[in-house]
Amino acid sequence: MPAIKKTLTVSIHDKARAYTIAVWIVVIAGIFLRLFQYFNDRSLWEDEIYLSTGLVKLSFGQLLHQALDFQQKAPIGYLLVVKFFTMLFGPREMSLRLFPLICGIASLFVFRKVARYFFDNTGTLVCMGILAFAPPLVYHAVEAKQYAVELFATILLLYTYTRYEDKTDIRSLVIWGIWGAVIAWFSYSSVFIMAGLAFTIALNYLVKKQWETLFRLAIPFALWFGSFAVNYIIFTQKDAHTGWLVYFFVKHDAFMPLSGDAPRWLLNHFMGFFNYPLGLSWMVVYQKAIFQEILYRMAWVPIIFSLLGVYYLLKHNKKLLVLIVSTFFIVTIASIVKLYPFHERLTVFLAPLTILLLASGCEVVFTGRRFNNIWRWALVLLMLIGPAKNSFAEVLNTDLFGDYKKSYHREAFTYLNDHFRPGDTVYVYWNDLPAWHLYKKIYPLKYSAFEGTDFRYSSHNFNEYFAGLDTELKPFMGKKRVWIVSNNYFDIEIGDYIGQPEWYYENNDGVQRFDKWLLGKGQMLDEFKINDEGAVSNISIRLMDFSGKHN
């Protein structure tokens, strides 16, 4: 009998050790994915360009009291840290992305501790597998935007919850409050997590009728929300409700309607969340019927685990379930009143909560004898294969990384720089001026450029629009070498209302019309091309010979 007991103990120990090794392998793989894409050092895409322009242009002092270019917003803590890195290492892509990278890697280490608090071996492995491999989360860890910091802020708040949820002494509550107070300066969305935590914790002590403890909780709550309020009043409230931006998210269905359309909205966003930010889709398809998308994306797997997760938490951890549900409920209310859009990158901060729910579902599968081991691991692998496959595919083919956010601005401007000759002329069409302005500032390009005028609002139709361009390009007619720079996708400026002016966007073919008009003005001698097969550039650089046509 003692021998059997000893064998069983060794077996359990070996199993736990194997899980620990597997978790660390996943963590290392997640670090590799982030470092690989970071050192791949891709060009900045449009959203990164908009935010980075102000960071490169403004000093520390100016960041504190001046608005960013292009009406951009980011937490002041994030801005100051990134500014420090650009001053330390120079204003380059890797400097702008260093703070998100640090937060992305730190998230893996801290979330492992959070997962171990709530789960045993399998749940922890699933948590780390999703966080490490999800392509959107890898992407945001190396994006010059604040979303990886927002994700890390959620994970840090969850970690402090695991450390202090049962503490009632004044010292612990003050420390907990200071944690949240500091985090609020680095993450806008942290207020939703703190609200969910406050509701969950207060409800727990309210049900238990522990009035003294409930009263003491005013300490961390006051520090959290007081810090957020000060931050909001000083830095965030200016232009917080910009009309064009609200309209942008209305057009992108980011606000839940209070109508009969609400069930459709909830279903679409529930399904969409598994794809972005969780990256659980085996393949991404759009414009399909909802059940086709469920099939193609393998979304039925996380749906099953979500439902099982609710069941598991109802039986074993109601506080965690209340935290998840209340936080999503608060965010949804903010969406209904148009205070916060429930849209793609803006939901990255919610990923850790959903990962905990999915891992809870895995605990059901691996508890008891409902399934044999083959079926257990088959279900888990069905959920994890998609993100792992897609992330490593992006290592093998970096043109896949970021999907539509893949940019080639640096490569294109460098190509022009290498092929520019004395006497050449460069003209930048209005839809790529933000990229030109930033790259001219951060790289030693030897050429200057004529900056194109946006004639959309001074015209009433395309005939008038191109007449304006004819006048603007008239000084270039007769020249043999004129470089024309334009964006292949963007034909809207920050501050524009989508679809305005109506005549320009009636058929959404403004970029194609410009290309046709340009090629009709002269002969194309050269153009920037991407060497990688199948890749499509977001920027056009064409060398035109206008010597044969004169207007």
DSSP 3-state of 477? coil
Q: Give the pLDDT confidence score for residue 8 in this predicted structure.
A: 45
The model's pLDDT over 147-200, given as tens digits with 9 standing for 90+, comes to 999 999 999 999 999 999 999 999 999 999 999 999 999 999 999 999 999 999
Please state, for a pLDDT cut of 70, what percent of the chain lies above it.
93
Q: Quick one: average pLDDT of 371-382?
A: 81
How far is 355 from 301, CA to CA, in rounded Å?
13
Tell me the pLDDT band of 371, cut-offs 50, 70 and 90: low
DSSP 3-state of 246? helix
Among candidate residues 367, 395, 423, the one where a domain is terminated = 395
Task: Look at residue 285 and tell me whether its pLDDT is greater than 70.
Answer: no
Residue 402 placed within a domain: no
Tell me the pLDDT band of 448, cut-offs 50, 70 and 90: very high
Q: Give the pLDDT confidence score for residue 294 in this predicted structure.
A: 60
Beta-strand relationship, 539-545 and 482-487: antiparallel
Task: Look at residue 382 and tell me whether its pLDDT is greater than 80.
Answer: yes
How far is 442 from 38, CA to CA, in rounded Å?
18
Q: Give the pLDDT confidence score for residue 120 in this predicted structure.
A: 87
Q: Which of 303, 386, 320, 322 has its CA nearest to residue 356?
A: 320
Q: Give the pLDDT confidence score for residue 263 in this predicted structure.
A: 94
Amino acid identity at 290 = I
The model's pLDDT over 219-246, given as tens digits with 9 standing for 90+, comes to 999 999 999 999 999 988 876 667 888 9
DSSP 523: E
Backbone angles phi, psi at 451, to 5 degrees: -100, 125
Residue 551 placed within a domain: no
Beta-strand relationship, 425-428 and 450-451: parallel
Task: Look at residue 369 and tell me whether its pLDDT is greater than 80.
Answer: no
Among candidate residues 395, 421, 443, the one where a domain is terminated = 395
Task: Look at residue 94 and tell me whether its pLDDT is greater than 60.
Answer: yes
Residue 550 placed within a domain: no
Note whether 336 and 380 are same-domain residues.
Answer: yes
Residue 79 CB contacts under 8 Å (≥ 6 apart), including other chains:
55, 63, 68
Note whether 441 and 465 are same-domain residues.
Answer: yes
Structure-block tokens of residue 444: 């030693």
Note whether 378 and 439 are same-domain residues.
Answer: no
Q: Which of 220, 213, 215 has its CA nearest to residue 194?
A: 220
What is the distance of C-alpha 459 from the center of its chain?
Answer: 36
How far is 127 from 111, CA to CA, in rounded Å?
8
The model's pLDDT over 502-527, given as tens digits with 9 standing for 90+, comes to 999 999 999 999 999 999 999 999 99
Note whether 10 and 31 are same-domain residues.
Answer: yes
Residue 186 placed within a domain: yes
Note whether 476 and 382 are same-domain residues.
Answer: no
Q: Give the pLDDT confidence score for residue 529 in this predicted structure.
A: 92
Question: Would residue 499 be called left, alpha or beta, if left means φ above 0 and alpha means ψ between -120 and 50 degrees?
Answer: left
Backbone angles phi, psi at 474, to 5 degrees: -55, -40
The model's pLDDT over 24-42, given as tens digits with 9 standing for 90+, comes to 999 999 999 999 999 999 9
How far is 15 from 19, CA to CA, in rounded Å?
6
Task: Look at residue 373 and tell me whether its pLDDT is greater than 80.
Answer: no
Q: Which of 393, 359, 429, 468 has its CA nearest to residue 119?
A: 359
Note whether 475 and 345 are same-domain residues.
Answer: no
How far is 274 from 452, CA to CA, in rounded Å?
42
Task: Look at residue 296 and tell me whether its pLDDT is greater than 70.
Answer: no
Note whether 322 and 430 are same-domain residues.
Answer: no
How far is 57 from 18, CA to CA, in rounded Å?
51
Tell me the pLDDT band of 410, cut-offs 50, 70 and 90: very high
Task: Look at residue 4 and tell me whether its pLDDT is greater than 70.
Answer: no
Tell me the pLDDT band of 379, cut-offs 50, 70 and 90: confident
Does residue 368 or residue 528 have the better pLDDT? Answer: 528
Q: Give the pLDDT confidence score for residue 551 in this predicted structure.
A: 46
> Is the alpha carbon torsion for 311, 317, 318, 320 positive or negative?
negative
The model's pLDDT over 30-85, given as tens digits with 9 standing for 90+, comes to 999 999 999 999 999 999 999 999 999 999 999 998 999 999 999 999 999 999 99
The full DSSP string for 7-50 is: HHHHHHHHHHHHHHHHHHHHHHHHHHHHHHHHHHTPPP-HHHHH
Amino acid identity at 165 = E
> Is the alpha carbon torsion for 340, 341, 344, 347 positive or negative?
positive
Structure-block tokens of residue 385: 């294969």
Tell me the pLDDT band of 7, cut-offs 50, 70 and 90: very low
CB 46 within 8 A of CB 434: yes
Amino acid identity at 42 = R
How far is 502 from 206, CA to CA, in rounded Å?
56
Q: Which residues pair with 543 in a beta bridge?
A: 483, 526
Backbone angles phi, psi at 33, to 5 degrees: -60, -40
Residue 292 placed within a domain: yes
Among candidate residues 374, 395, 416, the one where a domain is terminated = 395
CB 148 within 8 A of CB 141: yes
Note whether 326 and 469 are same-domain residues.
Answer: no
- For 488, counting Cβ atoms within 10 Å of its Cβ (0-12 exposed, 13-18 middle, 19+ buried), the class is middle
Residue 531 placed within a domain: yes
Q: Give the pLDDT confidence score for residue 299 in this predicted structure.
A: 77
Note whether 434 and 366 are same-domain residues.
Answer: no
DSSP 3-state of 506? coil
How far is 186 from 157, CA to CA, in rounded Å?
12
How far is 466 from 460, CA to CA, in rounded Å?
11
Q: Give the pLDDT confidence score for residue 377 in this predicted structure.
A: 85
Note whether 253 and 391 are same-domain residues.
Answer: yes
Q: Quick one: average pLDDT of 449-461?
A: 96
Q: Count the residues in the chain.
A: 551
Residue 303 placed within a domain: yes
Residue 400 placed within a domain: no
Count of domains in the chain?
Answer: 2
Task: Look at residue 214 and tell me whether its pLDDT is greater than 60.
Answer: yes
Q: Give the pLDDT confidence score for residue 178 in this predicted structure.
A: 98
Q: Quick one: average pLDDT of 275-282?
A: 90
How far is 93 from 80, CA to CA, in rounded Å?
16
Tell me the pLDDT band of 287, cut-offs 50, 70 and 90: low
Question: Would residue 497 be called left, alpha or beta, if left means φ above 0 and alpha means ψ between -120 and 50 degrees?
Answer: beta
Structure-block tokens of residue 72: 């951009």
Note whether 178 and 315 are same-domain residues.
Answer: yes
Backbone angles phi, psi at 360, to 5 degrees: -60, -40
Note whether 159 and 286 are same-domain residues.
Answer: yes
Domain hosting 530: range is: 408-545
Task: Look at residue 550 and tell me whether its pLDDT is greater than 50.
Answer: no
Return the C-alpha torsion angle 197, 199, 203, 205, nearest 10.
50
Q: Give the pLDDT confidence score for residue 437 in this predicted structure.
A: 97
Indicate the helix (H) or strand (E) that contains 129. Answer: helix 121-133
The model's pLDDT over 480-492, given as tens digits with 9 standing for 90+, comes to 999 999 999 988 9
> Locate tokens 């238990």: which residue?
208
Indicate the helix (H) or strand (E) that contains 308. Answer: helix 300-316
What does pLDDT average to over the chain? 92
